[in-house]
Amino acid sequence: MKRLVIIAIVLLVAGGTAILKLATYEPTANDTMTDMTNLSTWEPTTAQIRTQLDPNASLLQRKRHYGRLFRSRYRAKSMAVNLRVGQDGMFYLECAATIPTWDKALIAHQAWTEIRELFGEKPRLSIYESYIGTLSRRVGEARASTNNPAVPEVVFDTGWHLHRKPQRADFLGRLPGS
C-alpha cells in the first residue's frame, strides 16, 4: 500500500511538472541560430564599407581592409567568420564548421557580390571550414554563374580532399599579412 501511494505521488508530481513546462514553453527562447534573412542590413553595410575604404591605398590593402570589415560584421553577431586575402588577391572565406552549409552559402554569396561591387572584378573566393585547434579544410568555392556571369554560384564539395591527393592550399594555414 505504501508503495502504491509513493508511486501515485511521484506520478502526480511528474505530471504536474510536465503540464507546467508545456504551459510556459516558449519556442523562440531556445533559438540559438542567428537570423540571416536580411544580411544586407548588417553593419557595416556595403555602403558603409565603401566609405571606409581608402581610395589612395593599394588594391591589396583595400581588399584586406574589406576583409577585416566583413569579419567585424559577423563577429558582432557572434558568428565565427573570417575573410582573408592572399598576396595574389584570392579571397579565403573561413567559417566555423558549426555554421550550417546553407548559411555558409549565403555568406559566400554576399562576399562575392560585395567584392564584385566594391572592386569591379570577378572575385576568386574559396570557402573553408574549420574546427577549433585544427587547420581549415576547403569545402567549396563561389564563382561566376555559367548562365549569368554577374551572379555568383556557390558550389560545395565536402569530399574535396578525397578526390585527389591533398595539396598545401587545401588546408589553409596562416596567410601572410593577415
What local confidence, expressed as pLDDT, does residue 25 receive? 62
- As a whole number of angstroms, the distance between CA 94 and CA 77 comes to 16
Domain ranges of the chain: 57-168
Cell 553577431 appears where? 77
In tens digits, the chain (178 residues) has pLDDT values of: 788 888 878 888 877 777 767 666 665 555 566 777 788 888 999 999 999 999 999 999 999 999 999 999 999 999 999 999 999 989 999 999 999 999 999 999 999 999 999 999 889 999 999 888 778 888 999 999 889 988 999 999 866 556 555 555 545 555 444 4
- Of the CA atoms within 13 Å of residue 176, those in its CB half-sphere come to 5
CATH number of 57-168: 3.30.70
Q: Are 154 and 140 in contact (CB under 8 A)?
A: yes
Reported as a single tens digit per residue, the pLDDT across 82-124 is 999 999 989 999 999 999 999 999 999 999 999 999 999 889 9
Angle at the Cα of 155 from the Cα atoms of 110 and 97, rounded to 5 degrees: 75
Q: Which residue has the cell 594555414?
A: 173
Q: Give the CA distances from residue 94 to residues 12, 40, 50, 73, in Å, rounded to whole numbers and listed in that order.
A: 52, 19, 22, 14
C-alpha cell of residue 145: 554563374
Q: Which residue has the cell 555558409?
A: 104
Global pTM value: 0.73
Radius of gyration for the alpha carbons in the chain, expressed in angstroms and rounded: 23
Cis upstream peptide for 100 (omega within 30°): no
Q: How many Cα atoms sit within 13 Å of 132 on the Cβ side? A: 2
Cell numbers placing 74 = 559577423
Distances (CA, A) of 53 to 120, 125, 153: 14, 20, 26
* Residue 157 confidence (pLDDT): 82
The Cα 19–Cα 162 span in angstroms is 51
Question: In this predicted structure, what is the pLDDT of residue 174?
Answer: 52
Contact of 115 with 53, CB cutoff 8 Å:
no
